[in-house]
Chains A and B, each alone.
Chain A
Amino acid sequence: MMLNTTPKIVTEKQRRRRNNLIAWSFITPNFLGFAIFTLVPVIASFVIAFMKWDAFSAPEFVGFENFKSMIHNQTFWISLWNTVYYTIGTVPLTLIAALLLAILLNKKVRGISTFRAAIFFPYVTSLVAIAVVWNMLFHPDMGLINDFLRWIGIDNPPGWTSSSKWAMPAIIIVSVWRGMGYYMVLYLAGLQSIPRELYEAAKIDGANTWQEFRHVTLPMLAPTTFLVLILLTISSFKVFDLIQVMTMGGPGRATNVLVYLIYNEAFVNYDFGFASAISLVLFIIVLGITIIQFRVQEKNTDF
């Protein structure tokens, strides 16, 4: 009724409504599939976090019981720390390696595509094969890596996967090796979207390579860096496969990470409520970090 009396607002509202409708028409095809097959099960698992459930019998509502027992669970804290350790090790190293590789490989040199393929390759090789090979390379006495370390004069090279102290660094090395090609591809696509004129303009201004990188490449890559940062952080917090094939969380609990714990609580101890509670915590941590990263990005883009 209000709409009829004030025609100006009507058009404004209608316009907005139309706009909303168009926006939704873009989103709906993906959103429908996403909502049904991912969002609903995820929400279901969050509800289960407040229950005691063994996958078979009827779940029983227990309030915050699962979260309380988390506080006293030593393995949870060890796993949380290991996950953070892994993330802090993996994210910056992979990001820097991927960026440098992308810049290095974004040249028109003969055979460059072969090099690109080479760097991307570790990502596509099967994990089972990778684990076998790396475990051989990491062998304390006979492995290639320690042979090399001894050759350059390190008398007491680390025990890698058979030592609690060095197992995680070993995992991080493999993960950087495997991931850098993947994120390099993202950076390559990002580099391609920088208009060439910007570089030409920089050259006219007399910028050297470093200045070009600092003032043209880096700022223009900000959306890509943001994407890489978030994807890397999330995947680091979710690391599972690599650990499972390389160390099974060992030696002891040295490489036991959160998702490994979730998996064990669910499928070994049949405590799906507790497992869901841990994933809810994991979700909150990652979401928190993501929101912080979003804020920082928003601030930085206003230059």
Chain B
Amino acid sequence: MTAEEQRRRAFWQVLLFTAGLLVLTSISAGSVYLVNEARDDNKWVLHTIEVENQVNALLLEVRRAESGARGYLLTRETNFRNDHDKAVAAIIPALERLTRLIGNSPAQRQSIEQLSAAIQTRLGQFAREIDFVGQGQPEKAAALASEAATAGTTITIGSVASAMIREEERLFRLRSISADRSQTLAASLTGIGSGLVVLLALISIWLVRRSARARDDAETRLRDANLNLETTIDERTADLREANDEIQRFAYIVSHDLRSPLVNIMGFTSELDELGKDIFRRIGGLTGVPAGGPPVDVAEIPLDGPDKQMSTDFSEALGFIKSSIARMDRLISAILNLTREGRREFQPEKIDTRDFIEAIVSSVAHQAAEAQAEIHIEPLPNIVSDRLALEQIFSNLIDNAIKYLKNGVPGEVRIRGRTKLGYAIFEISDNGRGIDPKDHQRIFDLFRRAGTQDKPGQGIGLAHVRALVRRLGGTMSVSSELNAGSTFTITLPISWNASNRNADQ
């Protein structure tokens, strides 16, 4: 999974979370608002009903006052008078209450003004009717009553009241519809909100599942890649090991098989040598002894002239053949030894490097004295390695340092050591004849040598040393100029263990 994908996924998750939060908040806010709205609507519905009731109550009181007045007019009984008075007393508070209830609704305000004017008029008429009855002029009161009935004060009251009731009924319908709408809205808002939340939750689950799957896939791929890598490394290591083994076997077989014909060549050369001696002895016997004379030991007869020359040539030829065979034998033996060394298993052990080098130095003390060389050992780090291999490495290098000194200059060989990052670095430097930089690679090759060939040697030592150093997990280099001494640097792991190389053998 790339970083870009990861960032995108995180972004989506944050976005989803925010969206969910927003939806929840707006649902809550909307719900609160709508519930308030509905409550208001309901309040208004209730108010309408109250207004209606109040109008009806007012009308009832007006009717009671009227019927009380009529009853009193007809019978002059105080019962009716009392009844009428009670009703009239209730009319004004009822009207006031209605006015309060109506508040400042403009349409109703107008109606109430008409109503209250009509009621005032009627109340005045009532008062006059009662007065007329009190003064004993009932006909005047009756005329007033009938005038009120016909002139429309009562009718006006009735019609205005019913108009008010109709208005209130209209309002009631409107407010009911509004309340219904609020409720419907609240319900749908909740529904849509819940749906959104569920949808967001589903998307989140999907996203989480997708990322989990992606992670599992990535893990599987990583595991596969690791396995593949290990397999590849194992395969390569096996290939390398096989190639190395093959080279070792090849070198061994070649050197071994080369020896077989060499045995014949050497053997029959010696036979020829013997034969040649016999032949020349016989020639000497035939030419040097007079015929018929006493037998003489043929070995004691000297050859003369061309015979002697032939014998010398013969011996010389055989001598060259023999020395060449001996050289070839040494080379083959060297290769055999190298391949054998390559197969030897190392045994790591703790080595007190100073004691170890001192032992090597004392073993070459005789050569050093002959070459007038001094060997200085500086403090050296101790290491864990194969003793035999180290012995071969150091004795070869110290031997070389003493061997290739400048003629006539007292030798000075210095052995230094230090450690760096888990490696011990050893330097063996001398003030000897040095090595031309163009030969620095060549001297490590098998059977190759450099410089003046005035010392015996096969050209094996450094090749062998470098092979050993490599097998010990180290490296080796040389820095040198002609006539300016040489420094061989060996870098070896401080603690070599069998697992780094022996496992590969």
* A pairs with B: no
